[in-house]
């Protein structure tokens, strides 16, 4: 249930960590768009494990294959099915977990909900589930970019207790973000974050962090009052990602501390359109995009799977000491950067198509 997202640009993902493959069906992508595997692969490459010593040594090439929906390099308007085969399967690694639900992982709740669960690797709660999303998001992003010049850029703005000072949202690009393996464009902070992650790895521990994302050139008018407000759809999309615990947009939680007279964004003329002098609103007013940059933050908890011995109980309630051996990231946040961009693209593409009915 509920592996489907969107109304007109609709995606359905499938696949567990250790089955034959993971993938997605995209229904509603506009016809006639140029599309081939390389358009999709670049974001998958940014997401995949094994990119640096900061990530899990599980090495998956994650090559995407277009199964349907295109012909001679153009979309037909029909469902686009994308598949990434699972190649590096080692279910045995996780055998010890079958009797003991890992703390703060989904083992317990999946077992209680379904009465059964994938024996390994987290099943649908695994970060591997996001492959289908990223593949679909690359298409959504291509559509937005080619139609309106939309630019979506996310970066790591905090790892553990290390914050990166605000970067220039008007100008930041992915090349700057990818310049450091931790995907933080603030070089000094990036250096410290990297050290912190390596220390966590060596200590068999894990770290969380915050990703900030900006969407520029979004046309005015996207978002549907009242339950599909732009920020509501973004919030759902982001909190549907594994390990996320929070979302805020514009001034967010810190904006609650300002008075209205300070927080309001006065209108000013900007070229042919109205804009705002400040942007505490984060590009959204009344649930609808106003043409200013949309920016938001997403909180990621520290990875639940750690190498340290943990005192917990097994499914029968017996006290045990759990020592997890599998391969895992000490910090998923750098790899989550393209995933956050993906979810933003999927939400915006869907709302853009809905808004077109008013054209």
**Quick one: tokens of 218?**
């979004």
How far is Cα 194 from Cα 196, in angstroms, rounded to an integer? 5
112/171 with CB nearer a second copy: 112
How far is Cα 289 from Cα 281, in angstroms, rounded to an integer? 10
Residues 256-285 that bind a second copy (CB under 8 A): 256-261, 263-269, 274, 276, 280-282, 284-285
Q: Does 166 bind a second copy (CB under 8 A)?
A: no
DSSP per-residue string spanning 102-131: PTTSSHHHHHHHHS---SSTTGGGSGGGHH
- Segment interacting with a second copy (CB under 8 A) among 54-62, 169-177, 187-195, 249-257: 249-257
Q: Find the binder of a second copy among 143, 155, 247, 295 (CB under 8 A).
A: 247
Minimal distance in Å, beta carbon 165 to a second copy?
17
Q: Find the binder of a second copy among 41, 56, 289, 342 (CB under 8 A).
A: 289
Minimal distance in Å, beta carbon 72 to a second copy?
8
Q: Does 358 bind a second copy (CB under 8 A)?
A: yes
- Segment interacting with a second copy (CB under 8 A) among 44-52, 106-114, 137-145, 186-194: 106-114
Q: Does 327 bind a second copy (CB under 8 A)?
A: no
Q: Does 121 bind a second copy (CB under 8 A)?
A: no
Nearest to 212 by CA among 93, 89, 296, 338: 296
Minimal distance in Å, beta carbon 175 to a second copy?
26
Residues 47-86 that bind a second copy (CB under 8 A): 65-72, 74-81, 83
**Quick one: tokens of 145?**
């970019």
Q: Does 334 bind a second copy (CB under 8 A)?
A: no
How far is Cα 102 from Cα 122, in angstroms, rounded to an integer? 10
Kindly report the number of other CB atoms within 10 A of residue 261's CB atom.
6
Minimal distance in Å, beta carbon 355 to a second copy?
7
How far is Cα 28 from Cα 76, in angstroms, rounded to an integer? 10
Total residues in contact with a second copy, by rule CB under 8 A: 150
What mask of x and - would describe binding to a second copy in positions 123 to 162, judged by CB under 8 A? Answer: xxx---x----------------------------x-xx-
| Alpha carbons within 13 A on the beta-carbon side of 265 | 18
Q: Does 179 bind a second copy (CB under 8 A)?
A: no
- Segment interacting with a second copy (CB under 8 A) among 41-49, 113-121, 176-184, 187-195: 113-121
Contact 144, 356 (CB under 8 A): no
Which neighbouring-strand residues pair with 169? none
Q: Find the binder of a second copy among 5, 154, 197, 345 (CB under 8 A).
A: 5
The CA-atom distances, in angstroms, between 174 and each of 28, 49, 145, 201 are 27, 18, 14, 26
The CA-atom distances, in angstroms, between 48 and each of 40, 45, 84, 198, 337 are 13, 5, 11, 19, 11
């Amino acid at each position: 249930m509920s592996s489907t997202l969107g109304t007109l640009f609709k995606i359905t993902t499938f696949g567990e960590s250790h089955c034959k493959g993971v993938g997605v069906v995209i229904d509603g992508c506009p016809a006639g768009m140029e599309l081939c595997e390389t358009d999709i692969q670049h974001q998958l490459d940014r997401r995949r494990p094994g990119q640096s010593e900061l990530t899990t040594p599980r090495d998956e090439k994650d090559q995407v294959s277009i199964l349907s929906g295109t012909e001679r390099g153009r979309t037909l308007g029909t469902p686009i099915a994308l598949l990434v085969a699972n190649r590096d399967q080692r279910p045995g690694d996780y055998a010890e977990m079958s009797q003991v639900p890992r703390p703060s992982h989904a083992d317990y709740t999946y077992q209680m909900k379904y009465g059964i669960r994938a024996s390994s690797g987290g099943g649908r709660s695994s970060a591997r589930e996001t492959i289908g999303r990223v593949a679909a998001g690359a298409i959504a992003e291509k559509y937005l970019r080619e139609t309106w010049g939309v630019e979506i850029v996310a970066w790591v703005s905090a790892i553990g207790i290390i914050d990166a000072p605000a970067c220039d949202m008007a100008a930041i690009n992915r090349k700057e973000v990818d310049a450091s393996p931790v995907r933080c464009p603030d070089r000094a902070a990036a250096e410290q974050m990297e050290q912190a992650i390596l220390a966590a790895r060596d200590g068999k521990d894990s770290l969380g962090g915050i990703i900030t994302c900006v969407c520029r050139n979004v046309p005015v008018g996207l978002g549907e009052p009242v339950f599909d407000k732009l920020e509501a759809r973004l919030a759902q999309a982001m909190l549907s990602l594994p390990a996320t615990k929070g979302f805020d947009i514009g001034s967010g939680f810190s904006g609650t501390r300002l008075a209205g007279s300070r927080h309001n964004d006065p209108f000013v003329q900007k070229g042919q359109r109205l804009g705002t002098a400040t942007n505490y609103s984060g590009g959204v007013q009344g649930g609808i995009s106003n043409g200013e940059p949309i920016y938001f933050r997403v909180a990621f908890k520290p990875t639940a799977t750690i190498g340290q011995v943990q005192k917990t109980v097994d499914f029968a309630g017996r006290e045990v000491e759990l020592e997890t051996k599998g391969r895992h990231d000490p910090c998923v946040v750098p790899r989550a950067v393209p995933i956050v961009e993906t979810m933003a693209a999927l939400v915006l593409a869907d709302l853009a198509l809905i808004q077109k009915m008013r054209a």
